[in-house]
Amino acid sequence: MLATRSWHAAARPLAARGFAVVPQVNPKTGEVFKEYTTYGKEQVEAIVASSDRAFSAWRGVSPKERVAALAPMAELLRGRADEAAALMNQEMGKPVPQAKAEVLKCAYLIDWYAEHGAKFLEDTEHPPLPGFRRSYVTYQPLGVILSVMPWNFPFWQVIRMSVPTIMAGNAVVLKHARNCFGSSLLLEEIYGSVPGLPKDLFRALVIGGGEVDAVLENNAVRGIALTGSTEVGRQVAAKAGSLLKKAVVELGGSDGYVVLADADLEAAAKAVVTGRILNTGQVCISPKRVLVEKSVKAAFEQKVVEQLATKSYGVDFGPMVNKVAKQEVAGMIRATQDAGAKLLAGGVDAPAPDGDSGDSFLAPTVLTDVKPGMVAFDEEIFGPVLAITEAQDEADAIRLANQSEFGLGAAVFTEDRDKGQRIATQDMEAGMCFVNDFVRSDPSLPFGGVKNSGLGRECSMFGMMEFVNVKTICVK
């Protein structure tokens, strides 16, 4: 372990020159395992310029050839899945099995776009305007796109943004979370090893959040994609708007899951618990609030507690990303309990497992009798906390689910699938709604939300089209 005193001593000369030394702390052990020095202004500008040159070459390649050139990256990711999983585990505490599954999902995304991407980018013919021979729409790339990504899915968030964006003909520069600089540089290395890609088409910027505006102001950068908090998303979208540059922002969620009286309670509890503790609850689309009809609430609570007891540390959940995150979530649990909610499982006083320092560990927690006005109902808890709220009937459950500033994901549990589809389609205020399972992302379906959960979509055809010039061509 690198002592704090020696780290500060080493950082002083660099800080004096405008750089920063960023220690990487393992959330399980609490130890510093690596340090990175941030890039200076000239280095950042040089990287953006090199990516812009790569874009100039890449944009002239046909969509079919671009897609084919990126396809081999899937096997490169599979070949380094164990290495990447171990790194993610060190950086942000994700259990190794989940981290490896994340990398394999990234490879699957590339396979999916390799099969479908070229078709999405084909020109779309339209009836010619009167007096014209041909009218069509073509989809042309914009330039260098800045990607600002979070720590909770260090590979998946980057790949799902960058692959379709690069296949569409753009270049990408990545500003990753400060605890995931290692992942960003490994991704840069993997992109750089794809034989058919121009050098510097994808680059990582080891910079702090305060440098994002300067990068976005660079004339070569034509848009930004950010996944993060609603507060930061507003700032980034406002900055991009002031520059008239495209912005896609995927923000927070406090997903409401409706469990109706006719639901399969065993299946509902299994889905809710699995979805909530995935990645130790640090998932924007996990079921944070569960609205349960009064007549089945007690039975559902029992099944939730039983399901939670089957989950194990190191496989299903791990430590949180850092001690600050743990303290924040613990404070939200306490505030909710102080307001009258009851603790069914876990809690802030549950001990850390053997081998975990406890600095960042928070046991998966279930709270019930959570009501509007309580922290766990009104705010997003980004940690392994499940809040159960009693609903009088179906209409009340839907109303409570929608009583949120967010609108990312939602779910409905009912044995009447026609009713479930109707509620999901017409009543739930969310960008995604699943019937009888927890929400998850897939490359084949658009991902994004409404209300304060963001602007734009990722994945599928819609994600590929976010950073293109939808260009009308008419020939006389």
CA distance 146 to 224: 5
Pairing state of beta strands 432-435 and 144-148?
A: unpaired
Please give the single-letter amino acid code of residue 255.
D
Beta bridge partners of 250: 227, 454
SS (H, E, C) 392-411: CCHHHHHHHHHCCCEECEEE
CA distance 153 to 155: 6
Q: For the beta carbon of residue 437, count every other beta carbon within 10 angstroms.
A: 15
Q: Provide the 3-class DSSP secondary structure of residue 79.
A: helix
- Whole-number Cα distances in Å, 311 to 111, 276, 364: 31, 12, 9
> DSSP code of 280?
G
| Options 106, 180, 284, 433, the catalytic residue | 284
Closest listed residue to residue 139, CA positions, set 124, 127, 160? 124
Active site residue 284: yes
Q: Provide the 3-class DSSP secondary structure of residue 385.
A: strand
- Whole-number Cα distances in Å, 290 to 23, 210, 261, 306, 317: 38, 37, 13, 16, 20
| Options 91, 102, 188, 250, the catalytic residue | 250
Please give the single-letter amino acid code of residue 442.
D
344-383 burial: b if 16+ Cβ within 10 Å, else e: bbbbbeeebeeebeebbbbbbbbbbbbbeebbbbbbbbbb
CA distance 254 to 319: 21
SS (H, E, C) 106-166: HHHHHHHHHHHHHHHCCCEEECCCCCCCEEEEEEEECCEEEEECCCCCCCHHHHHHHHHHH
Active site residue 115: no
Cβ(449)–Cβ(250) under 8 Å? yes
What are residue 412's phi and psi, to 5 degrees?
Answer: -130, 130
The set of long-range contacts for 241-244, using a CB threshold of 8 Å and a minimum separation of 24, is 243/216, 243/217
Active site residues: 250, 284
